[in-house]
C-alpha cells in the first residue's frame, strides 16, 4: 500500500516574468514503511514538495493523497487536523522554542491540540534519541545534533503516519548527520 501518492503536481510562485515554476508535473508514490530520500540542487523544489505532502501549502494543480486522504478535498480546518494527526515534520532549522525546555518543546504540538502523550511511547522515543537526561535542558544548551534529535522527537510523539524531514542533516557535521539518518531509518 502507498502511504503517499502524488499526481502531476504543479506549483508556481509569483506571476508573469518573475514567475518561478517550483514544481512542474511531479508524480511520486511512496510505500508504507519505506525510507525515501529526495535529492536535488538548491532551489529545485524539495521544500515546496514536502510542504504539499504535509498539507502546509496547496498545489496549483494535481493531487496529493496521504494515508488514504485526498488533500484536495479538505478545507483549511480539516487540513489543520490532517497535519496534526498524520504528519510529523522536521524543519531544516529545527524550529525549537528557545524559552521552552526540551520536554516542553517535544510536548508543545500535542499540548496545543489538547492531547497528551502515552508515557511508555514517550520514554521509548527519549531512549532511542538519547534525550532522557536532557529533558530539563534548554535547546541552546544542546549541540546541533542534540537539537536535531529534539526536533525529531517532537515530530514522532504524536505517532504520525508519515515523517517528513527537510534536509535533516544539513546543519550537522557528517558524523552527527550519519547518526540522525540512522535514527530516521530505524523508525
Ligand atoms: N514562498 C515562495 N515565494 C516565492 N518563491 C518561492 C517560495 N518558495 C519557494 N520559492 C522558489 O521556488 C523554487 C523552489 O524552492 P524550494 O522548494 O525551497 O527548493 P529546495 O528546497 O529544493 O531548495 C526556488 O526558486 C525558490 O526561490
Ligand atoms: Mg529546501
**Tens-binned pLDDT, residue by residue, of the chain (187 aa):** 899 999 999 999 999 999 999 999 999 999 998 889 999 999 999 999 999 999 999 999 999 999 999 999 899 999 999 999 899 999 988 999 999 999 999 999 888 878 888 888 899 889 888 899 999 999 999 998 899 999 999 999 988 999 999 988 777 777 777 777 777 776 5
Give strand pairing partners of 10.
24, 61
User: Is ligand 1 within 6 A of the CB of residue 52?
Assistant: no
- Mutational pocket test of ligand 1: of 21, 23, 47, the residue with most ligand atoms within 8 Å of the beta carbon: 47
Cell of 151: 526536533
User: Is ligand 1 within 6 A of the CB of residue 26?
Assistant: no
User: Which residues crowd ion ligand 2, with CB under 5 Å?
Assistant: 46-47
Q: Which residues of 111-135 are buried (b: 16+ CB within 10 A; e: fewer)?
A: eeeeeebeeeebeebbebbebeebb
Rounded to the nearest angstrom, the distance between the alpha carbon of 89 and the centre of ligand 2 is: 13
Amino acid at each position: 500500500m502507498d502511504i503517499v501518492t502524488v499526481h502531476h503536481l504543479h506549483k508556481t510562485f509569483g506571476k508573469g516574468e518573475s514567475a518561478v515554476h517550483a514544481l512542474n508535473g511531479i508524480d511520486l508514490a511512496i510505500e508504507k514503511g519505506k525510507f525515501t530520500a529526495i535529492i536535488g540542487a538548491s532551489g529545485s523544489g524539495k521544500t515546496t514538495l514536502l510542504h504539499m505532502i504535509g498539507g502546509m501549502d496547496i498545489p496549483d494543480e494535481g493531487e496529493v493523497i496521504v494515508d488514504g486522504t485526498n488533500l484536495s478535498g479538505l478545507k483549511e480546518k480539516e487540513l489543520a487536523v490532517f497535519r496534526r494527526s498524520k504528519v510529523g515534520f522536521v524543519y531544516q532549522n529545527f524550529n525549537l522554542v528557545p524559552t521552552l525546555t526540551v520536554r516542553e518543546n517535544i510536548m508543545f504540538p500535542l499540548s496545543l491540540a489538547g492531547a497528551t502523550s502515552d508515557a511508555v511511547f514517550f520514554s521509548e522515543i527519549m531512549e532511542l534519541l538519547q534525550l532522557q537526561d536532557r529533558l530539563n535542558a534548554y535547546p541552546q544548551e544542546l549541540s546541533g545534533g542534540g537539537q536535531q534529535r529534539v526536533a525529531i522527537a517532537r515530530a514522532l510523539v504524536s505517532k504520525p503516519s508519515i515523517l517528513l524531514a527537510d534536509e535533516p542533516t544539513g546543519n550537522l557535521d557528517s558524523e552527527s548527520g550519519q547518526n540522525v539518518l540512522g535514527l530516521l531509518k530505524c523508525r
